[in-house]
């Protein structure tokens, strides 16, 4: 399924469906393919919006989690979006957290899956080995429980980014910024209902990270999915969509008076 990429000012994004906005933020090597099943499912219930994050287009000074959070703020302003359900995977989750802490007024709920912000295993000290396709393939496969989820298309995409010197520098800058930007002290300020969906076999942000998020974010609920790695919405989309749909429906049910 190909989606029309819309443009407004400097922003490029996908927008499908109608209803309360569900804004999806991809991770460091995120592509639209990460969210395809999710977009197809939720465009029947929500206005699903995926901004293209300028991971590799920002100047090196602003290539950081904070820089991306500012970009998301300007994007939501430009699209005049309110009562937003903000979802992020991996680095995208980290950006969603920083944005919600700085601009809580327009966020209705927060959805995090494999999010950085507390702890993550990066690509390792030897990363990136430019020009070593097998190495990049192995590293990409580690994202998933089932290595076959790392299609040739996905590996090629990661390889082309890491093989470009300037892009590789920016990826490293973002990864280092994510490690430095630890939100442990601030998470108790998040008041929005928060859904945490984690793969039980996530090796990048392991299950203990999810439990810590759950402990630190007051109004949060945690769901683990078995045989699943760092990107549940890609690896087990049906299960992920069912959990998210139930969460969103519950938010819109009138409160019962006991």
Q: Give SS3 for 126.
A: coil
Q: Is residue 165 part of a domain?
A: no
Q: Which domain holds residue 197?
A: 6-120+182-251
Q: Is residue 87 part of a domain?
A: yes
Q: Is residue 40 part of a domain?
A: yes
> What digits encode the pLDDT tens for the residues 59-72?
888 899 999 999 99
The predicted model scores a pTM of 0.93
CATH number of the domain that residue 63 is part of = 3.40.50.1820
- Residues 31/157, Cβ–Cβ less than 8 Å: yes
Print pLDDT tens along the chain (258 aa): 678 999 999 999 999 999 999 999 998 877 667 789 999 999 999 999 999 999 888 888 889 999 999 999 999 999 999 999 999 999 999 999 999 999 999 999 999 999 999 987 764 444 455 678 998 898 889 899 999 999 998 899 888 888 888 888 898 889 889 888 999 999 999 999 999 999 999 999 999 999 999 999 999 999 999 999 999 999 999 999 999 999 999 998 876 555
Q: Is residue 236 part of a domain?
A: yes
The token pair at 254 is: 């009138």
| DSSP labels, 152-197 | HHHHHHHHHHHTSHHHHHHHHHHHHHHHH---TTTGGG--S-EEEE
Q: Is residue 11 part of a domain?
A: yes
> What digits encode the pLDDT tens for the residues 27-38?
887 766 778 999
Dmax over CA atoms of the chain, in Å, equals 63
Q: Is residue 65 part of a domain?
A: yes
Cα 76 to Cα 70: distance, rounded to the nearest angstrom: 10
Cα 82 to Cα 77: distance, rounded to the nearest angstrom: 9
Angle between helices 91-102 and 165-180 (to 10 degrees): 50
Q: Which of 14, 22, 15 is nearest to 42 (CA)?
A: 22
Q: What total number of domains does the chain contain?
A: 1
């Amino acid at each position: 399924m190909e989606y029309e990429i819309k443009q407004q000012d400097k922003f490029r994004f996908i927008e499908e469906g109608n209803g309360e906005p569900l804004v999806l933020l991809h991770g460091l090597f995120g592509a639209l393919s990460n969210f395809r099943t999710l977009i197809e499912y939720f465009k029947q219930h929500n206005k699903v919006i995926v901004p293209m994050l300028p991971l590799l287009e920002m100047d090196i000074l602003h290539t950081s989690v904070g820089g991306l959070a500012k970009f998301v703020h300007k994007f939501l302003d430009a699209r005049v979006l309110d009562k937003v359900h903000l979802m992020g995977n991996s680095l995208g989750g980290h950006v969603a957290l920083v944005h919600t802490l700085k601009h809580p007024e327009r966020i209705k709920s927060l959805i995090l899956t494999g999010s950085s912000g507390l702890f993550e295993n990066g690509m390792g000290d030897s990363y990136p080995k430019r020009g070593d396709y097998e190495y990049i393939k192995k590293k990409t496969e580690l994202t998933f429980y089932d290595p076959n989820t790392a299609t040739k298309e996905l590996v090629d995409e990661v390889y082309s980014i890491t093989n470009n010197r300037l892009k590789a520098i920016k990826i490293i800058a973002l990864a280092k910024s994510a490690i430095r930007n630890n939100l442990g002290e601030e998470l108790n300020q998040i008041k929005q209902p928060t859904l945490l969906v984690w793969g039980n076999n996530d090796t990048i942000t392991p299950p203990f990270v999810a439990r810590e998020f759950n402990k630190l974010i007051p109004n949060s609920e945690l769901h683990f999915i078995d045989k699943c790695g760092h990107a549940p919405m890609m690896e087990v989309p049906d299960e992920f969509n069912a959990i998210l749909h139930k969460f969103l429906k519950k938010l819109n049910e009138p409160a019962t008076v006991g």
